[in-house]
Amino acid sequence: MNTNLPSLKVKDIGEQGLLKIIQSFCPADIIGDDAAVLTTTPQKSLVVTTDMLIDGVHFSDVTTSPEDAGWRAAAANLSDLAAMGAFPLGITVGLGLPGDLSVAWIEKLYQGITECLQKYNVSIVGGDIVRSPITTLSITAFGEVKPDLIIRRSTAQIGDTIIVTGIHGASRAGLELLLNPEIAQNLKTTEKTALIAAHQRPIPRLDVLPIIEEILLPISPSSHLLISGMDSSDGLADAVLQICRASGVGAILEQSKISVPSAFNHWLTPEQSLNYALYGGEDFELVLCLPPKTASALVEKLGTGAAIIGTITPGSEVNLKHENAKIPNQVLTLSQGFQHFS
């Protein structure tokens, strides 16, 4: 069967034909049973996360190639594991496909998924393919974490320092450049390329986990409460607000510490810049709350982009403090972010 024919459709090759193609993206020994078998590490907890992505809602051929849709879906799930402090064990991929979808599209989707997974030595360990009127992708990712190093939203403590592992707003800016290629004439090509890559090929911050382990374990080998946090996939403001709500605390963020891509300076107004950073979403950085000394040590070790952006406070408000003390604090709310069913 020549799957390189661009016109070949799902309905032309059937379920068995599709399975053969998909199996070429999976390790040989996991195929053929009702379920996949994985080996876990004793003394570690299992972490599980799941995401559904719908054609026209979460991805679209206008801004996203099938390769990029696959990469982004895999990256989002690995980022959810990183947000819990967990190293990935594997993912399952469920696919709902219209009969007239091209087989080439599916191959490119899997290529994008596996390109992202390979960077972290992760495999597709199972899945399901079914007929559906709308292309639907459902990914479940499994990881494991030492119980002492689980990162939770609900354990932020008053006095904790809030840090980010990188800059924010790049993904949103990249999307804008894809939707309106004629804007931002005064950006260099390299700047445009970097922003678009931030949107199309976001990087889950699994690299942060060994650094956290290196810094935290010597300080307190048995504490459960040293680290709180989540990823910024729904925006930096959303992450801080979710952590505060779950922990029953407030926060103060310093606007001047929230770093954005340098390209923003000669393109966007300060207000647009801040808006992209706070509400743009899909940057997949980690937002972490730790005791001040540990936070400083972690930021130093993480290097470029990582920064202390604020402090956990009593109360429940998240305030954004302007550099100019005369400008009043802005109170951040969840409703400024995305509403998926609106």
User: Annotated binding residues for Mg(2+), as ranges?
Assistant: 34, 49-51, 80, 128, 231, 234
Q: What is the DSSP letter of 55?
A: B
Helix (H/G/I), strand (E/B), else coil: 314: coil
- Measured in residues, the chain has a length of 342
Strand partners, 54: 136
**Which of the residues 143 through 172 are near a second copy (CB under 8 A)?**
143, 145, 150, 152-154
Spatial separation of the C-alpha atoms in residues 84 and 38, rounded to whole Å: 20
Q: Which pair of tokens denotes residue 67?
A: 């390769």
Asked if 191 touches a second copy (CB under 8 A), the answer is no
From candidates 64, 114, 140, 161, binder to a second copy by CB under 8 A: 140
Among 69, 84, 109, 263, indicate the residue that binds a second copy (CB under 8 A).
84
Is residue 54 near a second copy by the rule CB under 8 A?
yes
Query: What is the CA angle 213-217-221, rounded to 5?
Result: 140
Span 106-135, contacts to a second copy by CB under 8 A: 125-134
Considering all CA atoms of the chain, what is the largest pairwise distance in Å, rounded to the nearest integer? 70
Torsion angle in degrees (nearest 10) through CA of 176, 178, 179, 182: 90
Residue 272, classified by CB atoms within 10 Å of its CB into exposed (0-12), middle (13-18) or buried (19+), is middle
Q: Residues at the annotated binding site? A: 34, 49-51, 58, 80, 110, 127-128, 153, 231, 233-234, 282, 338
Which parts of 249-268 interact with a second copy (CB under 8 A)? Answer: none
Q: Choose between 190 and 222: whose C-beta lies nearer to a second copy.
A: 222
Contact call for residue 219 and a second copy (CB under 8 A): no
Does the protein bind a second copy through residue 46 (CB under 8 A)? yes
Each residue 15-44 as x (binds a second copy by CB under 8 A) or -, in order, gives x--x-------------xxxxxxxxx-xxx
Contact 301, 211 (CB under 8 A): yes
Piece of 95-103, 160-168, 289-297, 306-314 that binds a second copy (CB under 8 A): 95-103
116 or 260: whose CB is closer to a second copy? 116
